[in-house]
Amino acid sequence: MFEVNDPEFDWFLQQVKKHLNIDLTGYKQHRVHRRVNMLLRRHNVESYREYLKMILGDQKFRDEFLDKMTINVTEFFRNPEKWGELQNYIKDMVKDLRGFRAWSAGCSTGEEPYTIAMILEELRAPSRASVLATDLDPWVLEKAKRGIYEERSMVNLDEAMRNRYFIKHDDGTYEIKPFVKSRVTFKRHDLILEPYENGFSLIVCRNVVIYFDQPTKDKIYRKFVEALNTGGYLFVGSTERIFNYRELGLEMVSPFIYRKRG
């Protein structure tokens, strides 16, 4: 893999870790390097030292930096056919008397965990069936908690689903209804740095680890398997494959959906 050999840049990443509590060293380095350099050029800044001062001193620049490092693009029922398939597995699990708990890891602005909550509603799951939704970026979590969305997030939702689960506002935005919201708990969590909760029937982690290098991905998948109940499912993004799934204790149910073996 292409390595970035730049001591100044390494120093910058260490400072970001120290001051912002974000470890970018597990991310694909050439990508992080390219994006930071783009921001330096945009603001006419000559050195990483100067840029660090800028992001530590001004919320606006800090938000822009976080935004560029962690792409937040998402939508409801992203890849609808895969969600349709997953719904069948969830259907069997919600009958489990131990209760159903899902985790949307890297949930961005909330479309993904609310998708799981809507599926639970469609299946008339008991109200204790819940979703933990986590992300590194506090800004996206604020937006997720507000639960107000533009048309571009809604493309996979037909009229009936929109009416059932959203309040339409005069300005054309859609707000998720309180009974759907109440199934989801949002928390800030870093998948690289922090310990994981456990006892999940389903973990959805899509379009997040694509930014990480292979050793970091491996570690994260191992921790996901530990966090899953036996028989629980791991749903990954539509360009992501876990090549060593057998070694991790998973079976492949279909492309991008894995199940923890007993």
- Which of residues 192 and 253 has its CB atom nearest to ligand SAM in the complex? 192
105 contacts 137 by C-beta, under 8 angstroms: no
Interface with ligand SAM (CB under 6 A), residue from 135, 174, 232, 242: 135
Stretch that binds ligand SAM, among 41-49, 52-60, 67-75, 117-125 (CB under 6 A): 67-75
Burial 174-205 (b: 16+ CB within 10 A, else e): bebbeebbebbebeebebbeeebeeebbbbbb
Contact between 192 and ligand SAM per CB under 6 A? yes
* Phi/psi at 149 (5° precision): -130, 155
With H, G, I as helix, E, B as strand and everything else as coil, classify residue 148: strand
Closest listed residue to residue 235, CA positions, set 22, 72, 26, 81: 81
Closest listed residue to residue 181, CA positions, set 225, 142, 146, 137: 146
With H, G, I as helix, E, B as strand and everything else as coil, classify residue 236: strand
- Which of residues 127 and 196 has its CB atom nearest to ligand SAM in the complex? 196
- The nearest distance, CB 211 to ligand SAM, in angstroms, is 6
Interface with ligand SAM (CB under 6 A), residue from 73, 91, 238, 246: 73
- The nearest distance, CB 139 to ligand SAM, in angstroms, is 9
- Which of residues 67 and 92 has its CB atom nearest to ligand SAM in the complex? 67
Contact between 190 and ligand SAM per CB under 6 A? yes
- The nearest distance, CB 74 to ligand SAM, in angstroms, is 3
What tokens does 95 get? 């009958």
Contact between 121 and ligand SAM per CB under 6 A? no
Burial of 242 (0-12, 13-18, 19+ CB in 10 A): buried
Interface with ligand SAM (CB under 6 A), residue from 101, 118, 121, 137: 137
- Which of residues 190 and 247 has its CB atom nearest to ligand SAM in the complex? 190
- Which of residues 23 and 53 has its CB atom nearest to ligand SAM in the complex? 23
Write down the H helix ranges in 21-137.
29-42, 48-57, 59-69, 80-93, 111-122
Touching ligand SAM, residues 14-43 (CB under 6 A): none
DSSP 169: P
Contact residues toward ligand SAM (CB under 6 A) are: 70-74, 78, 106-108, 112, 135-137, 140, 190-192, 206-208, 237
